[in-house]
């Protein structure tokens, strides 16, 4: 029913845009059918949202808060009616230009903290998936031509760690043509100063050059490739969570990064008549395996896609979801992972999750 909504969602986040889906849930007169209304907004379209009632104003404010902070919103307006407001942010992508000794640990650390990593080098012995097993994409191409293959956008984080001064400058010239979330370039202070002077002489504005983090990374006294990689990814994380930390005046508030399940969303884009239920974590407390926004799909015939954490607690939710498909509508359920439940499952978790189950 809302296949196009999810198709448009993936298109928007794939283009680097933050978005939010407002779902109106209704348990009235929903026998054997989904009862929901889903509307997609980007940050830009949300600003023109036509608010003609008090409810519209509440929805607007909550959607605005969700898209600014990344915090999912859920509220009920009656016993049967509720609204789910889900923020979706593009998957943060780290572009590593250069496949040398620093790039290898950097790609590993970046993958572990939630970045989709792309590594680019013009040498086959360095640009290969065996060397960069955790990278989502490894491109063997010249630094001049590679930019036609990656389509940089405002949610990309770019690290320039090539093997030479000339390649660094070639990359920087290309990167500065785009609006990215972060750009950093390795090099000593003397080398960086030389590069910047050359770039200014070529006509690049100093204002834009001043936003380049060079020398790259946080000052932690790093010496080894692994330590340098940690200093770089730490700086990248700070930009992801806080924005440009060098500008205290305009620095935004700390941003939550909502869970993003591409496989689940891709499945929701498919034209399919089989009844299924969408399970979404709407809130958490304490230590839990996944955060708000995580999703899974349950089909009536038993197929499952995605996960909200696993274990017997997930099994209970699956049973509830299959029962719900017989009557339609939505249901809220809590999962308590404290005490013996977590111990019996061998989990280190000890928190509580609230999930919403909606027929789709």
Pairwise CA distance, residues 19 & 68, whole Å:
10
Which residues fall within 8 angstroms of residue 96, CB to CB, at 6 or more apart? 103, 106, 107, 110, 117, 118, 119, 120, 159, 161
Pairwise CA distance, residues 335 & 310, whole Å:
11
Cβ(258)–Cβ(295) below 8 Å: no
Pairwise CA distance, residues 145 & 143, whole Å:
6
DSSP-derived letter for residue 159 is E
Instruction: Please give the pLDDT value at position 36.
Output: 63
Cβ(356)–Cβ(332) below 8 Å: yes
Q: For 41-69, what is the mean pLDDT? A: 91
pLDDT-derived band at 340 (thresholds 50, 70, 90) equals very low
Beta bridge partners of 140: 121
Pairwise CA distance, residues 241 & 244, whole Å:
9
In this predicted structure, the answer to whether residue 352 has a pLDDT above a threshold of 70 is yes
**Domains of the chain, each with CATH number or no CATH:** 3-89+258-359 (no CATH), 93-242 (3.40.50.720)
Specify the length of the chain in residues: 360
Cβ(127)–Cβ(190) below 8 Å: no
Instruction: Please give the pLDDT value at position 29.
Output: 56
Which residues fall within 8 angstroms of residue 193, CB to CB, at 6 or more apart? none
Least confident segment among 82-91, 170-179, 306-315? 306-315
Instruction: Please give the pLDDT value at position 293.
Output: 92
Instruction: Please give the pLDDT value at position 254.
Output: 59
More reliable by pLDDT, 248 or 306: 306
Tokens read off for 260: 């993003």
Report the alpha-carbon angle 326-10-259, nearest 5: 70
Which residues fall within 8 angstroms of residue 177, CB to CB, at 6 or more apart? none
- Taking CA atoms, 256 is separated from 72, 253, 293, 323, in Å, by 10, 10, 11, 33
Instruction: Please give the pLDDT value at position 249.
Output: 47
pLDDT-derived band at 342 (thresholds 50, 70, 90) equals low
- Taking CA atoms, 234 is separated from 105, 113, 220, 228, 229, in Å, by 13, 10, 10, 10, 8
Chain segment 64-106, per-residue pLDDT in tens: 999 999 999 999 988 888 999 999 998 899 999 999 999 999 9
Coil vs helix vs strand at 124 = coil
Exposed e or buried b per residue across 126-143, where buried means at least 16 C-beta atoms within 10 angstroms of its C-beta: bbbeebbeebeebbbeeb
Q: For 325-353, what is the mean pLDDT? A: 72
Instruction: Please give the pLDDT value at position 125.
Output: 95
Instruction: Please give the pLDDT value at position 248.
Output: 47
DSSP-derived letter for residue 94 is E
Q: Among 218, 224, 184, which Cα is nearest to 97's?
A: 184
Cβ(97)–Cβ(144) below 8 Å: no
In this predicted structure, the answer to whether residue 17 has a pLDDT above a threshold of 60 is yes
Q: Among 143, 248, 130, 127, which Cα is nearest to 185's?
A: 143
In this predicted structure, the answer to whether residue 224 has a pLDDT above a threshold of 70 is yes
pLDDT-derived band at 281 (thresholds 50, 70, 90) equals very high
Provide the 10 A C-beta neighbour count for residue 160: 26
Q: What is the CA radius of gyration of the chain?
A: 23
Which of 37-51, 92-106, 198-212, 346-360 is the most confident on average? 92-106
Instruction: Please give the pLDDT value at position 346.
Output: 53
More reliable by pLDDT, 225 or 164: 225
């Amino acid at each position: 029913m809302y296949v196009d909504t999810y198709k448009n969602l993936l298109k928007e986040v794939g283009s680097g845009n933050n978005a939010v889906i407002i779902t109106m849930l209704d348990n009235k007169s929903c026998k054997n059918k989904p009862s929901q209304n889903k509307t997609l907004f980007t940050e830009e379209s949300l600003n023109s949202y036509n608010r003609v009632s008090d409810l519209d104003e509440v929805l607007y404010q909550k959607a605005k808060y969700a898209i600014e902070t990344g915090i999912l919103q859920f509220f009920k307006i009656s016993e049967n009616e509720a609204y789910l407001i889900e923020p979706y942010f593009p998957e943060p992508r780290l572009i590593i230009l250069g496949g040398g000794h620093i790039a290898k640990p950097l790609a590993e650390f970046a993958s572990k903290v939630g970045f989709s990593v792309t590594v680019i080098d013009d040498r086959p012995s360095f640009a290969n998936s065996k060397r960069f097993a955790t990278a989502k994409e490894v491109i063997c191409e010249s630094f001049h031509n590679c930019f036609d293959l990656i389509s940089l956008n405002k949610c990309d984080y770019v690290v320039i760690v090539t093997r030479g001064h000339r390649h660094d400058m070639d990359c920087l010239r290309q990167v500065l043509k785009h609006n990215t979330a972060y750009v950093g370039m390795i090099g000593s202070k003397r080398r960086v100063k030389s590069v910047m002077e050359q770039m200014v002489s070529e006509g690049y504005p100093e204002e834009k050059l001043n936003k380049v983090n060079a020398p790259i990374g946080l000052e932690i006294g790093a010496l080894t490739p692994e330590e340098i990689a940690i200093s770089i990814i730490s700086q990248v994380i700070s930009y992801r969570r806080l924005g440009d930390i060098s500008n205290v005046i305009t620095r935004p508030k700390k941003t939550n990064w909502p869970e993003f399940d591409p496989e689940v969303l891709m499945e929701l884009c498919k034209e399919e008549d089989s009844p299924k239920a969408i399970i979404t974590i709407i809130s958490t407390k304490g230590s839990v395996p996944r955060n708000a926004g995580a999703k899974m799909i349950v089909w009536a015939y038993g197929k499952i896609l995605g996960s909200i954490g696993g274990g017997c607690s997930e099994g209970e939710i699956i049973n509830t979801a299959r029962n719900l498909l017989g009557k339609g509508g939505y249901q809220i359920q809590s999962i308590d992972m404290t005490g013996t439940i977590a111990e019996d499952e061998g989990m280190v978790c000890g928190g509580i999750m609230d999930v919403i189950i909606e027929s789709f």
